[in-house]
Chains A and B, each alone.
Chain A
Amino acid sequence: MWEAIPRIAAGVPVTLLLAAAAIAFGFVIAICSALSILTKRPILGPIAKSYIYLFRSTPLLVQLFLIYFGLGQSTLIRESFLWPVLQSPMWCSIIALALNTGAFSGEIFRGALAAVPVGQMEAAKAGGMSWWLSFRRILFPVGMRIALPSYGNELVMMIKATALASTVTVLEITGIAHKMISATYRTIEIFIVAGAYYLAINFVLTRILKTIEDRVSKHQ
């Protein structure tokens, strides 16, 4: 069990990279979808709605397999400039995770932005603010405060969801654990170590989230 600790530690940066990249891309996707729906964009709105429906309602594992194994089936993609990205298990995992969290966070942000009282945006308008300025100064900061608890939950889920990347050969925490188990058959010890790493990462993450929440909710 002890020798598993340093070996699995090598997977921690990979897990963190997967999560960080997916969360960053997912955040952008989520804000764009939430705004497309809220501002009732004629084409983007329905696209965002279908996207959220599709990615929230199917398993992440299936999405990952479709992106990693499925897209490579098409010669069109294999010959396109996207192939260097789509043949990399790391990139495919990031894309699948980002699209998945983008859908869930999009729904969280849509709800939170819609919960910002209309009057606060009217006051911004009445003060001469452009839509973009009032979004930046009022709607976004107030909405994100409302979203924070649910969004924090989503981030914790994302850390754990990165484990699925091991199914497409990415050697992150779970991937390394798997490899060690097939060599040693010490299932329980090794998975306990792997689990402990997730626990530690999420401990730090929840502390950070708590600090942010305390800092931005001074007004309540």
Chain B
Amino acid sequence: MLKGISLEAHEGDVVSLIGSSGSGKSTLLRSINMLEIPTSGRVRIGGEEIRLKPDGRGGSTIASRRQIERIRATLGMVFQSFNLWPHMTVIQNVIECPHHVLKKPKAECLDEAAAFLDKVGILDKRDQYPSQLSGGQQQRCAIARALAMHPKVMLFDEPTSALDPELVNEVLQVIRLLAEEGRTMLLVTHEMRFARGVSNVVAFLHNGLIEEIGPPEKVFGNSDSARCREFLAHFQDKSAQ
């Protein structure tokens, strides 16, 4: 899928990954917390490299489960399809990992969870089950769940792609709020205008390669890559309609 990509994000960066489907942007994001294990290459988080070993079939596999579990706990992931746990209420979803992975006392987890739910604006839904929530509310719950781990980096994998158009904004507002707080974030998105407004680095991926990378003004304004200009023109056509 990916063929030789190098991407660096510094603390406080908001990096948007854009590109047509199949370009490898989600794969790249999912390689960061090893939901997708790259056949070769290196991932370094805060100076620590994730250790991989050959799996004997030409690919790689995780060398130390304990290391990857510890690192994953520092990366907050938000999925396209929310992936909330259906048998738990909203607040139970949020306290699950802090309580069981970080082993924080339950009372502390509950207090923090309430604060995060308030931040994403669904505190009144705390005792509801995910299926009783709208898509936008579910995604905001998923964001609160990720925040509850106090992650160093937030990873967003097309967070608004599964939402009805009228629900997209409530989720984007929350993400914008997080960006303004100075959180380090990587975001795979099809919301071009949002990516332009919120990020300080934009990478355009095509066929598993980074075609263009730079500040949003450069990538959206006058990209050197013809493919990138073409891709963005298509989006401008669409929003003009």
Which B residues from 58 to 84 make CB contacts under 8 A with A? 65, 69-70, 72-75, 77, 79, 81-84
Q: How large is the interface on B (under 10, 10 to 19, 20 to 34, 35 or more residues)?
A: 20 to 34
Asked if B130 is an interface residue, CB under 8 A from chain A, the answer is yes
Q: Is the CB of A127 within 8 A of B73?
A: yes
- Among A48-56, A107-115, A129-137, A194-202, the stretch that binds chain B is A129-137
The verdict on A138 contacting B35 (CB below 8 Å), with A128-B149, A219-B130, A220-B131 known, is no
User: Which residue of A is nearest B30, CB measured?
Assistant: A122
Residues of chain A lying within 8 A (CB to CB) of residue B77: 123, 126-127
Q: B97 — nearest CB in chain A belongs to which residue?
A: A127
Are B79 and A133 interface neighbours, CB within 8 A?
no
A137-B100, A138-B85 are contacts. A127–B131 as well, Cβ < 8 Å? no
Q: How far is the CA of A18 from the CA of B74 in the complex (A)?
A: 50
CA distance in complex: A128, B130 (Å): 21
B181 nearest CB across to chain A (Å): 21
- A168 to B: closest C-beta gap in Å: 42
The CA of A119 and the CA of B81, in the complex, are separated in Å by 8
Beyond A133-B101, A218-B129, whether A126 also contacts B33 by CB under 8 A is: yes
| CB-based contact B100/A129 at 8 Å | yes
**Cβ of B87 and Cβ of A142 under 8 Å apart?**
yes
- B221 an interface residue at 8 Å Cβ cutoff? no
The residues of B that contact A138 with a CB separation of less than 8 Å are 85
| Minimum CB–CB distance for A120 against chain B, Å | 6
Q: Is B105 an interface residue (CB 8 A)?
A: no
On whether A128 and B70 interact (CB within 8 A), knowing A119-B83, A120-B85, A123-B85, the answer reads yes
Are the CB atoms of A219 and B35 closer together than 8 Å?
A: no
Q: A122-B35, A219-B130 are in contact. Are A127 and B87 (CB under 8 A)?
A: no
Q: Would you call B97 and A120 a contact (CB within 8 A)?
A: no
Q: Is B212 close to A, CB under 8 A?
A: no
Complex formed: what's the CA distance from A57 to B156 in Å? 48
- B80 smallest CB distance to A (angstroms): 9
The closest CB in chain B to the CB of A219 belongs to B129
B158 at the interface (CB under 8 A from A): no
Dominant secondary structure at the B interface: loop
**Judging by beta carbons under 8 Å apart, are A128 and B101 in contact?**
yes
B27 CB to closest chain A CB (Å) equals 14
**CA separation between A216 and B88, bound complex, in Å?**
10
In the complex, which residues of chain A have a beta carbon less than 8 angstroms from the beta carbon of B101? 127-129, 133
From A119, A128, A142, A218, give the contact of B97 (CB < 8 A): A128
Number of residues of chain A lying within 8 A (CB) of chain B:
23
Instruction: Say what secondary structure dominates the interface of chain A.
Output: helix
Min CB gap A40→B, angstroms: 13
What are the residues of chain B within 8 A of A127 when measuring CB–CB? Answer: 72-73, 77, 96-97, 101, 145, 149
CA distance A120 to B84 in the complex (A): 7
**Contact A125 to B35, CB < 8 A, known contacts A130-B65, A219-B87, A219-B131:** yes
Expressed in whole angstroms, the Cα–Cα distance for A197 and B70 within the complex equals 56
Q: How far is the CB of A131 from chain B (nearest CB, A)?
A: 8
B96–A137 contact, CB under 8 A? yes
> Shortest CB–CB separation between residue A49 and chain B, in angstroms?
22
Give every chain B residue within 8 A of A216 (Cβ-Cβ): 87
Asked if A141 is at the interface (CB within 8 A of a chain B CB), the reply is yes
Interface of chain A residues 38 through 53 with chain B (CB within 8 A): none
A145 adjacent to chain B (CB < 8 Å):
yes
> B86 within 8 Å of A by Cβ?
yes
A128 partner residues in chain B, CB cutoff 8 A: 69-70, 72-74, 97, 101-102, 149
Interface residues of chain A, those whose CB is within 8 Å of chain B, are: 117, 119-120, 122-131, 133, 137-138, 141-142, 145, 216, 218-220
Identify the 5 closest CB pairs spanning chains A and B, nearest first: A128-B73, A219-B129, A127-B97, A119-B83, A126-B77
29 A-B residue pairs with Cβ-Cβ distance under 8 Å, sorted by A, are A117-B83, A119-B81, A120-B84, A120-B86, A122-B35, A122-B83, A123-B83, A123-B84, A123-B142, A126-B79, A127-B77, A127-B96, A128-B69, A128-B74, A128-B97, A128-B101, A128-B149, A130-B69, A131-B65, A133-B100, A137-B96, A141-B87, A216-B87, A219-B87, A219-B88, A219-B129, A219-B130, A219-B131, A220-B131
